[in-house]
Structure 1
């Protein structure tokens, strides 16, 4: 089974994260596949990223036997590829968007979510800090106070409240989701592509001025935190489905 499905036709690039049995958890190869599809998109006028099944993405794959060498570099590349793409990138949020899955959604230009979905930044629950430029993307989208609340609490934010806060663009009833996504895609595919590109470039330059430095800072922090006792405990607790006992070490 292909973990990332790519379809190009009529100026529309459709990317589907296709690991539904693991809630579309991402490994390094999958993240790079998404970047490759967006980077090699000649003739594309709009791109859509979505997930198969009941999740957009639960974030980076994590299990006792999971090793993701190069994942931070791959994530950094993907965030840059989304924000630099010279066409609108739409996140079709079909369910949970957690961890770097949430970062991917917020990096996109437009996000449409099912009302049953939610976003989650749960790094703190496993003794880590956010990656995928979440520390800048969230603050730019919803302000410092709300960003701190989500990043430090690790709480779920229902899709409707995420729209109210400004983290997502639009939420629709689950049964109307596919039609709403296609309506948005059709509008962008028929729109002024060059004007979209210049507008996107200007908005991102104004609102994400330190994106590269943010990604570097997060990568350094994640690398440091990955060696702490709190992360080992948090990861073990997550896998064993129990409360973590953090010691500040």
Structure 2
């Protein structure tokens, strides 16, 4: 597929997706969804990708749905089926990220609003530039947070703060988002790209399967009893203990050297 609304590359173990509609703050259109789906499919099947970074071009990360997109136009006398849009595009997007075979890093370089905020929060790590901010703008147009927002926000910061963000539609600066625990870190603008590159390199050199199993275990914890969670941990530890990267990690520790993980 030829991409017009995103940029995609894989280099040195790091897959990178840049949302590339800067004149529209990288807001979603149907065409951009299709390109994202294709790129994520490539990451899932590539033996070269060990980590994924998602960011935005220009001064924004993603401003959510482009309400001017032809697929979102409201026909005269006909109400739109927004649920169908969620089922067709946003639900598969979030699930594909949550089930990706490599760890994911959202590099939030500017506004992350609506579905754009949820896209970032669906990644394993979220790092934002100091000038970035998050906005749950749905209530301003008579809607609820979608793209997983009603699940991701309370999971990250608790019900009181999640409800306040959703009902009041107020900007949450990146520094405050970090203080609340919504994101991993807020980084000064001048150091932002260097920090993203550093973290992407660390993820790409890490024991990939262990990171993905960690994600899966933490996702499951909210709906598990302690006994169920302990059983899941036992199963994952059994599997990971048979893998090359565990043997390499132990050998490197005993030999007092840096490990060379393969992701297997």
Q: TM-score, normalised by structure 2?
A: 0.75
Structure 2 segments unaligned to the other structure (5+ residues): 73-81, 225-264
Q: State the distance in 1 between where 2:223 and 2:121 align.
A: 12
Q: Per-residue displacement from partner, 1:87-136 (whole Å, max 9, x unpaired)?
A: 11100000000000000011100011110010000100011111101001
Q: Report the more deviating stretch, 29-38 or 137-146.
A: 29-38
Kindly indicate whether structure 1 or structure 2 has the higher relative contact order, using CA contacts under 8 Å at least 6 residues apart. 1
Give the superposed CA RMSD.
1.6
Compared with structure 1, are the counterparts of its residues 176 and 208 closer, same or farther at alpha carbon in structure 2 (3 Å cutoff)? farther
Aligned to 2:6: 4
Aligned to 2:229: none
Aligned to 1:59: 64
Any runs of at least 4 consecutive aligned residues in structure 1 with deviations exceeding 4 A, and if so which?
Answer: none
How much does 1:167 deviate?
1.1
Aligned to 1:98: 113
How much does 1:10 deviate?
2.2
After superposition, residues 16-165 of structure 1 pair within 5 angstroms as 16-41=18-43, 42-43=46-47, 44-63=49-68, 66-68=70-72, 71-72=85-86, 73-165=88-180
The answer to whether the 8 Å contact 1:5/1:16 transfers is: yes
Larger radius of gyration: 2
Q: State the distance in 2 between where 1:207 and 1:137 align.
A: 12
Structure 1 segments unaligned to the other structure (5+ residues): 210-249
The answer to whether the 8 Å contact 1:91/1:110 transfers is: yes
